[in-house]
Homo-oligomer: A and B are copies of this chain.
Amino acid sequence: MIDPPSLVDQYCHGVLRTELGLGTFEAQLARTEGPPAPGTTLFDTQTGFAVRRWCPPLLGLEPHCPPARYLARRRELGTAEASRRLLRGSGITAYLVDTGLPGDLTDPGELARAGQAEAHEIVRLEQLAEQVADTSGTVESFLANLAESVHGAAAHAVAFTSVAGLRHGLALAPEPPGAGEVRGAAGRWMAARGAGDRLTDPVLLRHLLWIAVASGLPLQLHAGLGAPGARVDRTDPVLLTAFVRATAGLGTDLVLLHGYPYHRHAAHLAGVFPHVHADCGAALVRTGARAATVLAEVLELAPFGKILFSRGARGLPELHVVGAHLFRAALARVLGGWVSEGAWSLDDARRVATLIASGNAARVYGLS
């Protein structure tokens, strides 16, 4: 009854090119601090159950088949062929890919070819800054190169993404840091950093946010679940309120990614501020059979023109499959339920489904 014809995934990552054993596959099912507790397995999670529900049929097996059998079949096909079948079975028409994660992951072009879909690049600000620092000898050259890199990225990417919340928490001072402050922070950071050190300085994180805002490209902000061992309340999107207010009217759209377990707060901000949008997908991969409820909670306060689908998937093509299937099923269940009760008209439900699945992303990211 309600099945949007195309899906734009506004935030995902590439998939692993390497072959995976049972343990390495399992480790990709969740983001944890350490291996599963003795006597337990990460397959016994909503994500694990959803993978076993939706993926085996795409590789010619029964739904819910045991993990070992599934992985045997996956190895039999080979990683490349399994990925192709899985990605093509996920029904995505466009991928927006954050290329800022380490690991042997496919780039947007490979993802596009494997999935027979469009792919666009999202540039991760913190990684960009780290790369610039690696090749800049002085603070002055670092700051100049950084501005140029952001400017250059804005010409080919469809969005910037910031993990400032995961690196430092979202309780950042809302205004742009002063030039002297930025120079001081950059100097200290560059002097102290070793190879591979990550950017966590709050002044530099804010500087990045503001040069991204100045670029006019949509800016995605990670909120809610993210860095597994960090306090999740430090990424409550409500902490962004002052920053959101400071960036209102500048012409740059903000997109709050993930949000869960504070997705109602993200939806509230999307309802109040014209330039704020809320993600409704990344939490679904994590909450599996509960996806319809989580989606419905986002649909309480967020205007329907401000909600965007994503999967947040990384590493496993299985997570891409699950993200898409759970979203379609949740959307059909939630909106279809409201139609059955007489609360919504079917026409409206179909229109809203299309907005969330692809229309809003097309408008915000300027996709054709």
Beta-carbon contact of B39 and A272 below 8 Å? no
Please, how many angstroms separate the alpha-carbon atoms of A230 and B301 in the complex? Answer: 16
Please, how many angstroms separate the alpha-carbon atoms of A290 and B293 in the complex? Answer: 10
Beta-carbon contact of A300 and B294 below 8 Å? yes
Residue from A37, A53, A306 with most neighbouring chain B CB atoms (10 Å): A37
Beta-carbon contact of B303 and A42 below 8 Å? yes
Please, how many angstroms separate the alpha-carbon atoms of A63 and B338 in the complex? Answer: 14
Partner of A45, one of B232, B287, B304: B304
Map CB proximity to B onto A323-364 as digits: 1 under 8 Å, 0 otherwise: 000000000000000100111110110001001000000010
Could you list which residues of chain A lie within 8 angstroms of chain B, going by C-beta atoms?
30-37, 39-42, 44-46, 49-50, 52-53, 63-64, 225, 228-233, 236, 238-239, 241-242, 245, 248-249, 253, 261, 264-265, 268, 271-275, 286-290, 293-294, 296-297, 299-301, 303-306, 338, 341-345, 347-348, 352, 355, 363
Beta-carbon contact of B32 and A274 below 8 Å? yes
Beta-carbon contact of B261 and A265 below 8 Å? yes
Beta-carbon contact of A300 and B304 below 8 Å? no
Please, how many angstroms separate the alpha-carbon atoms of A301 and B228 in the complex? Answer: 12
8 residue pairs, one from A and one from B, having the closest CB atoms = A40-B305, A64-B345, A44-B304, A37-B274, A287-B300, A289-B343, A228-B272, A261-B264
Contacts of A261 in B (CB 8 A): 264-265, 268, 301
8 intermolecular pairs with C-beta atoms under 8 Å apart: A34-B248, A37-B274, A44-B352, A53-B342, A233-B265, A261-B264, A287-B300, A288-B343
Known contacts A238-B231, A287-B301; A293/B294 CB under 8 A? no
CB distance from A33 to the nearest CB of B (A): 5
Partner of A305, one of B39, B231, B289: B39
CB distance from A327 to the nearest CB of B (A): 14
Contacts of A30 in B (CB 8 A): 271, 303
CB distance from A218 to the nearest CB of B (A): 12
Beta-carbon contact of A348 and B64 below 8 Å? yes
